[in-house]
Amino acid sequence: MMRKLTEKKLVLATHNAGKVAEMQEILAPFGITVVSAGDLNLSEPEENGTTFVENATIKAVAAAKESGLPALGDDSGLCVHALGGRPGIYSARYNEPKKNGFMYAMEKLNEELGDSADRSAHFACAMVIAWPDGETRSFEGRVNGTLCWPVKTGEHGFGYDPMFVPDGYDASFAELPAAVKNAVSHRARALKMFTDACL
């Protein structure tokens, strides 16, 4: 039987403010208080897994052990089909900080795609809940879409969102209101699996 989350405080194993805000909004109706690993000054473990699930597990287990609270870790990324799934688990490291962050990463992907007619891609998210006793459960969500160029910047989103137009929409993730993105995103889908199973 799937273990239920009975605690009302959950550590989000991330230092990414965008992810924290997204998760707080989604989990608020369940009466769960979300604190981030950054808020608790937890260390950042080395993400040396070869899959999204492995990296999410590394983060969740480390945060749960260090904080003594249940922790939710996620690892997500953009998988470009014509590039063999790149950047995949290396999505966050695909940009060069000395350049201009994710804008550089998006420019790099567009250059690599060249004149390819296939601009399909998907965002993948693995979400892992870990308890301090070491027990874990994993969930995986995915949303398909197309990469646009030039990017469609908006007031929302982060990372590769300005370049990604989800199937069924004309706007990029950066342009869609948070409520819409949170209903269809890869992270939202993985989180729904988590909430359905554990809450």
Q: Give me the CATH number covering residue 160.
A: 3.90.950.10
The reply to whether 3 falls in a domain is no
Dig out the tokens for 142 from the structure. Answer: 């995915």
Tracing tokens 């405080």 back to the chain, one arrives at 9
pLDDT at 1: 74
Q: Which of 39, 74, 75, 115 is catalytic?
A: 75
Residue 1 lies in a domain: no
- Least Cα distance to 130 among 192, 39, 77, 194 occurs for 194
Is residue 143 assigned to a domain?
A: yes
Rounded to a whole number of angstroms, the distance between the first and last alpha carbons of the chain is 13
Task: Please report whether residue 192 resides in a domain.
Answer: yes
Residue length of the chain: 199
Domains: count for the chain: 1
Query: Annotated catalytic, 75?
Result: yes
Separation between Cα atoms, residue 132 and residue 62, nearest integer Å: 9
Give the max Cα distance, the chain: 52
- The whole domain housing 17 covers 9-198
Confidence band (pLDDT; 50, 70, 90) for 23? Answer: confident
**Closest Cα partner for 175 from 151, 196, 193, 191?**
151
- Look at residue 97 in the predicted model and tell me its pLDDT: 62
Question: What is the pTM assigned to this prediction?
Answer: 0.90
pLDDT tens, position by position, 79-136: 999 999 999 999 988 877 656 678 999 999 999 999 999 999 999 999 999 999 999 9
Quick check: 48 pLDDT over 80?
yes
Domain assignment of residue 172, yes or no: yes
Asked whether the CA dihedral 52, 56, 58, 59 is positive or negative, the reply is positive
Residue 178 falls inside a structural domain: yes
